[in-house]
Amino acid sequence: MSSMHPVLQQARTEPTVFAALSRVAEAFGDLPWFCIPARAGRDYDPGGREVTYRDAVVAASRLRDAYAEAGYGLGHRVALRLDNRPEHFLHLLALNALGASVVPLNPDALDHEAGYVMAHAGVDLVVTRPRHELAVRAGLAGSGHIASVVVTEGDIASVPKPAGTARSGTPDRTTELAVVYTSGTTGNPKGCILDNAFAFTVGCWYADLGGRLTLRPASERIFVPLPVFHVNAGINTPTALLLSANCLVMPDRFHLSTWWNDVSATRATGIHYLGIMPPALMKAPPHPQERSHSVLFGLGAGLDPDLHVRFEERFGIPMVEVWGMTETGRFFADAYEPRQITTRAFGRPTPDFNAMIVDEHDREVARGSPGELVVRSPGDDPRAGFFRGYFKDTAATEDAWRNGWFHTGDVAIQQDDDMLVFVERRKNIIRRSGENISAAEVENALIGHPAVARVAVLSVEDEMRDEEVLCCVVTADGVASTRETAGQVVAACQGRIATYKWPGWVVFVDSLPMTSTQKIQKGLIFPKGQDPRQHPGAFDMRGMKTRRPT
């Protein structure tokens, strides 16, 4: 840090993210913090827009004053459904300045899904755009939770008062910044409590990683086509760029047809990706700008090793595979040469972010042997810099932290050179195009269908989307195992769960293996090494569900 600009040094010591922004704006006020690429026909900023650090401080301060006038402060929570727009962050910062917390909402969630999150978090207020107002109100009505709603495309002149008064005190590093919901294994998502210390920890981590992921102060423009209700685009990357006086390029989502035009027009020096993006770009015809860009690195996860080398050769972009979770903040990265791009390698443990591979009894396994990846901070507080816990679920928090290590649910191996290599996910979670999907939630949506006697949902490899939802069905008596029935099974999800959670594959099986306590043994449904998609009862139903990149 000795060679770092003194203002950036000071920003790292501030008590809140808003205070850090105010500090950075002192020296870098004219630089952009956010860039919205132009996109004709979009319902906001079709011509594109940039927000400087000074602009952000001014706008967030106006919002802060409006919230303060209404009485918001420590202990209050506000849900945000504002899409991938700078306004999302301006409201977050305004509330952060007062010690209030935000709950980001998935704009694609169905009414009852959003309703669950708003009710579970006990939000005092929901701030949303006009296009989401009806869905927000329907979600609140269905949940039975009472909260005020503000509809806005930008500033707000006044805010309804919260039901309860704010706690006394001053916001600091321990103050809650956000509750970010991530899918659990029991159907309903779990809320991860994140504080200011979490944001500074992960922000400094990314800013200081180095290697292929070096962030040069006041020089980078990172193109992140991911949703702001995820921790990557919503907290981790914006904070890292703030602490290095850099710019977040924030499209509404991944657009294949304009990708290279957008990357070039926004002068991006880095990109973030998910597993779906590299295959889509590789399948696209050659583009005039696919080699004339300014991109120095890609950061992401789920890039197939068979594709990795060919992608880098074609586009000239080093793609750095990383591993992290909402709960961990910090992430491992295979960022230093020689990178192991022909494997699922994702980096090595560090003195500041420890890792171990363990068996079912939490004993370390031999190098090269698969086991669960567990992680922790060094020293007396293994939880330092991690999430504070699962909201209203102390039992799940303590179970995840058993024996002083956070249990990730991911299976990995550690090589003799310390490199960590991803194997598979142990948790009952399907990771599709960056979305965590609870298998139990999909099962609950299908179990009552008259064609379904038993059902088990699991993940299956997908060349475009990393993983896809696969549904194994034992049909009810007299029901034929046909494509028509498979279509009925998928259609049963309509109105019950979001489209991206629907089964992409339906496989009809004669029976499901059960334990003595009548629990389905998912690992025994298909023989080891068999691709479930090749099962004679398998039907590809992906055409019913996916919104294709455009």
SS (H, E, C) 232-256: HHHHHHHHHHHCCCCEEECCCCCCC
How far, rounded to the nearest angstrom, does the alpha carbon of residue 454 sit from its chain's CA centroid? 31
pLDDT of residue 548: 45
pLDDT of residue 547: 52
Residues of the chain with CATH 3.30.300.30: 429-544
Domain 1-33+47-165 belongs in CATH node 3.40.1360.10: no
pLDDT of residue 515: 65
pLDDT of residue 521: 83
Phi, psi dihedrals of residue 151, rounded to the nearest 5° = -110, 125
Give me the helix-helix angle, 17-28 and 86-98, nearest 10°. 120
103 neighbors 77 (Cβ within 8 angstroms): yes
Instruction: Say which residues have a Cβ less than 8 Å from residue 484's Cβ, sequence separation at least 6.
Output: none
b/e 444-472 (16+ beta carbons within 10 angstroms → b): bbbeebebbebbbbbbbebebbbbbbbbb
Measured CA to CA, the distance from residue 103 to residue 179 in angstroms comes to 5
Phi, psi dihedrals of residue 134, rounded to the nearest 5° = -60, -40
Instruction: Say which residues have a Cβ less than 8 Å from residue 224's Cβ, sequence separation at least 6.
Output: 232, 233, 237, 248, 249, 250, 271, 272
Measured CA to CA, the distance from residue 420 to residue 348 in angstroms comes to 6
Omega prior to 225 cis, within 30 of 0: no
- Burial degree of 29 (CB within 10 A; 0-12, 13-18, 19+): middle
216 neighbors 428 (Cβ within 8 angstroms): no
Fold of 429-544: GMP Synthetase; Chain A, domain 3 (3.30.300)
DSSP-derived letter for residue 81 is: E
Alpha-helical runs (H) found in 251-323? 259-265, 277-283, 305-315
Phi, psi dihedrals of residue 516, rounded to the nearest 5° = -65, -20
Phi, psi dihedrals of residue 436, rounded to the nearest 5° = -85, 120
pLDDT of residue 253: 94
- Burial degree of 311 (CB within 10 A; 0-12, 13-18, 19+): buried
End-to-end CA distance of the chain: 43
- Burial degree of 207 (CB within 10 A; 0-12, 13-18, 19+): buried
DSSP lists the bridge partners of residue 248 as 34, 222
DSSP-derived letter for residue 160 is: P
Instruction: Say which residues have a Cβ less than 8 Å from residue 336's Cβ, sequence separation at least 6.
Output: 210, 211, 212
Per-residue confidence in pLDDT tens, the chain, 550 aa: 457 899 999 999 999 999 999 999 999 999 999 999 999 999 999 999 999 999 999 999 999 999 999 999 999 999 999 999 999 999 999 999 999 999 999 998 889 999 999 999 999 999 999 999 999 999 999 999 999 999 999 889 889 999 999 999 999 999 999 999 986 545 688 999 999 999 999 999 999 999 999 999 999 999 999 999 999 999 999 999 999 999 999 999 999 999 999 999 999 999 999 877 998 999 999 999 999 999 999 999 988 898 999 999 999 999 999 999 999 999 999 999 999 999 999 999 999 999 999 999 999 999 999 999 999 999 999 999 999 999 999 999 999 999 999 999 998 999 999 999 998 777 777 888 888 888 888 988 898 899 999 999 999 998 888 899 999 999 999 999 999 999 999 999 999 999 999 999 999 999 999 865 567 888 889 998 899 999 999 999 999 986 544 4
Strand, helix or coil for residue 275: coil
Residues of the chain with CATH 3.40.50.980: 1-33+47-165
Instruction: Report pTM.
Output: 0.88
b/e 252-271 (16+ beta carbons within 10 angstroms → b): bebeeebbbebbbebebbbb
Which of left, alpha, beta for 409 (phi over 0: left; psi -120 to 50: alpha)?
A: left
DSSP-derived letter for residue 290 is: S
